[in-house]
Structure 1
Amino acid sequence: MARLVAAMSGGVDSAVAAARAVEAGHDVTGVHLALSRNPRSYRSGARGCCSIEDAGDARRAADVLGIPFYVWDMSTEFADEVVDDFVAEYAAGRTPNPCLRCNEKIKFAAVLDRALALGFDGVVTGHYALLETGASGDVELHRAQDAGKDQSYVLGVLTQEQLRHSHFPLGGSVKTEVRAEAARRDLQVATKPDSHDICFVADGDNAGWLAERLGPRPGTIVDEDGTVLREHDGAYAYTIGQRRGLRLGVPADDGKPRFVLDIEPVSGTVTVGPRERLLVDVLEADRPLWCGPAPDGPLECTVQLRAHGAEHRAVVEVDGGLVRVRLHDPAEGIAPGQAVVVYVGTRVVGSATITATSRVEVGVGDGR
């Protein structure tokens, strides 16, 4: 039996994960993370997580399970490590994933550190992923059984030490089973909708939220030949691969839609062009985080480049803190700031943050 902290978000997954840990005989304490000094500034109702309603739902679930329940104030750590990082990344022309950052710095760093300091053995969460013990004795992170709910991508930031203290009871289940189990256990969250989007952007308007914090930073939207198409109020409102909301007015010569190809944050220049120019086959990345030993030599593998995105066959090479990924088949619309997560089969090898991409030259083979 282990003493575990159950991170209870107020949703059905974390409630059932806590219930399964209790049923398995563990000594479980429920904890809800207060991530904002003003919870009403975060999502409310079913649109997100981390709201006042979610805290109440988590407390009621803990009462049903008969386990102690506490609220841990992580608002300072969340603001410093997740919110401020999100703003800084967009200001630098990159496209971050705050959920990975939250898992890395809050749920499996700050929370786990506090849990271990208080004498707990680990943390249990409602993430959909599997943990297995490998031949070497290391704990391996694998994709969940339910491919549609698999969250191994956002857990690719976890180290071996963190994995050894993690418990993911839902990894072998599908979502319909989890909801049915919650209903059988009389958990009121059984039919609660899943959370979506970014929890700290209250109305879902990322561009508007960033504008309030970064202010106007005028620039231009240009074609690849440098022709100015219109002015804008901030390059942070755009992401590579974006098509909607460009409001260019003048159609392209070929009449086809144009997409954001590049963002230059210093000048505020946003470059647009045809869809085929979004294709890339080489990625460079830094800040690698390995779930176990780092790859030794070229690694034939697959990589995932966005949450719930497709897998791409690739070769990964590591040189200290730098990672180079060569895709066998080009990918579209990959932006600096995104995470590349490396897999061998279903096993997560680790992750890194994309810093640069190289485009396939249209009409010149595969660009190599």
Structure 2
Amino acid sequence: MNIDSPVTAVAMSGGLDSSMAAALLVEQGVDCIGIMMRLWSEQGPGIASTNKCCSADSVDVARAVADRLGMPFYLVNAEEPFRKAVVEPYIDGFDLGRTPNPCLNCNRRIRFDWLLRYALGLGAECLATGHHVRRRSEADGSFSLLRAADPMKDQSYVLSVLNQQQLARSLFPVGTYTKPELRDMARQRDLPVADKQESMDLCFVADDDYRRFLEDWSPAPVQPGPIVTIEGDTVGTHQGLHRYTIGQRRGLDIPVHSREPRYVIRKLPEENALVIGSRSDLATLEFQVEETNWIRRPHSSDPDLTCQIRYRGRDIPCALEETGDNGVTVLLQEPQYGVAPGQAAVFYRGDECLGGGLVASP
């Protein structure tokens, strides 16, 4: 490591994207160090014996890539902050009848906070990751977060939690490339990640069985409760609110009283009740967002705003009205179905991710 030049830390996972992020920076002459976090290694029912993004094999691959690129490599234990910042809020969210996305807290509290501070402590000036997004410097000195060149791999939705201070110290080297291009580039460099399969599951949940995970690790006991209609009639019994999602149609143990399908409309955790109704009851044109984070705040009169309410979801034209206390009223131009409390609502202007927040309970 050349201590006289700026140092960039690369968050490594043993996967294609982070490995290519490191390779691209090293080839540009950037002095890099590789850091990999051990996030979860606790064994038990419903939990992966090792975190899927920091298994022993992944550590070996990440270290091999770092060695090949001539980078120092650090494996750091982040299990305790990960548990407190990601796993426990995930469990609490379901206990409150919400639909949490743990990747948001992981990026906000762990990757671009805990890890960034760790990297700065090692003497790095910024942190590079393998996220598929782009960063742009603006004339006023701020930074904007843009969608990736590969729309099928864009990850701006889960990075909507970042602030200007974090963006100022973040680099996203792979955001201008498509996945096939990155695989070809890895093969050309003989990196052992070119054909590595992506993991799409929650990294700390075994076999992607989040229901079992919650049943085994939530302090709240699983209790059956009533299934009620919008009109208030009890028509069945659910087997625990955590087993159902807003908009779910299949798996409802209820008698068929009409030809019209029934869907989960909302959860009432205070009453331990599951509310069902017709598809039209799921339609939402207006909802509230809380804990809003603005990367770059839009003008209230901006006519080109869109909202995305699911990862990989499509853009819905909208208007926004700020309500104070980091709250926003979202007015959609077309109805959406299955908008669930706890989901992230992320706002865009074209390819620019402006920020986002969490759908509030009705």
TM-score, reference length from structure 1? 0.91
1:259 aligned onto 2:263: yes
Q: CA deviation at 1:298?
A: 4.2
Q: CA deviation at 1:39?
A: 7.1
Q: How does 1:31-180 map to 2 (within 5 A)?
A: 31-38=35-42, 41-42=47-48, 48-180=52-184
Could you tell me how far apart the structure 2 residues matched to 1:245 and 1:59 are?
45
Counterpart for residue 233 of structure 1: 239
Could you tell me how far apart the structure 2 residues matched to 1:263 and 1:299 are?
34
What percentage of aligned pairs have identical amino acids? Answer: 39
1:348 aligned onto 2:353: yes
Could you tell me how far apart the structure 2 residues matched to 1:16 and 1:43 are?
27
1:322 aligned onto 2:327: yes
Could you tell me how far apart the structure 1 residues matched to 2:232 and 2:287 are?
25
Are 1:42 and 1:51, in contact at CA under 8 Å, matched by a contact in 2? no
Counterpart for residue 218 of structure 1: 224
Are 1:43 and 1:203, in contact at CA under 8 Å, matched by a contact in 2? no
Could you tell me how far apart the structure 2 residues matched to 1:62 and 1:39 are?
28
Q: Residue 297 of structure 1: which of 295, 300, 303 is its match? A: 300
Counterpart for residue 23 of structure 2: 19
Change (3 A) 1:345 1:231: same
AA aligned to 1:244 is R
1:242 aligned onto 2:245: no
Are 1:39 and 1:52, in contact at CA under 8 Å, matched by a contact in 2? no
Q: Deviations over 1:31-84 (max 9, x none)?
A: 111001437943779xx4233322222122212222111111111110001000
Give the 3-state SS of the residue equivalent to 2:317 in structure 1: strand
Give the 3-state SS of the residue equivalent to 2:110 in structure 1: helix
Change (3 A) 1:125 1:177: same
Q: Residue 343 of structure 2: which of 338, 342, 345 is its match? A: 338
Are 1:342 and 1:348, in contact at CA under 8 Å, matched by a contact in 2? yes
Are 1:93 and 1:235, in contact at CA under 8 Å, matched by a contact in 2? yes
Give the 3-state SS of the residue equivalent to 2:206 in structure 1: coil
Change (3 A) 1:136 1:98: same
1:208 aligned onto 2:209: no
Could you tell me how far apart the structure 2 residues matched to 1:59 and 1:243 are?
46
Change (3 A) 1:39 1:59: farther
Could you tell me how far apart the structure 2 residues matched to 1:318 and 1:278 are?
24
Give the aligned CA root-mean-square deviation in angstroms.
1.8
AA aligned to 2:235 is L
Could you tell me how far apart the structure 2 residues matched to 1:4 and 1:39 are?
34
Give the 3-state SS of the residue equivalent to 2:208 in structure 1: coil
Change (3 A) 1:298 1:117: farther
TM-score, reference length from structure 2? 0.93
Counterpart for residue 363 of structure 1: none
Could you tell me how far apart the structure 2 residues matched to 1:44 and 1:112 are?
23
Q: CA deviation at 1:130?
A: 0.7
Could you tell me how far apart the structure 2 residues matched to 1:201 and 1:245 are?
22
Q: CA deviation at 1:137?
A: 2.1
Q: CA deviation at 1:350?
A: 0.8
Could you tell me how far apart the structure 2 residues matched to 1:108 and 1:269 are?
38
Counterpart for residue 360 of structure 1: none
Q: CA deviation at 1:213?
A: 2.0
AA aligned to 1:15 is S
Question: Which 5+ residue runs of structure 1 have no aligned equivalent?
Answer: 358-368
Q: CA deviation at 1:252?
A: 4.1
How many residue pairs match? The answer is 352
Are 2:48 and 2:204, in contact at CA under 8 Å, matched by a contact in 1? yes
Q: CA deviation at 1:295?
A: 3.5
Q: Deviations over 1:287-324 (max 9, x none)?
A: 111113x3453443011111100101001122331111
Identify the range of structure 1 (213-222 vs 333-342) with the bigger mean alpha-carbon deviation. 213-222
Q: CA deviation at 1:149?
A: 0.5
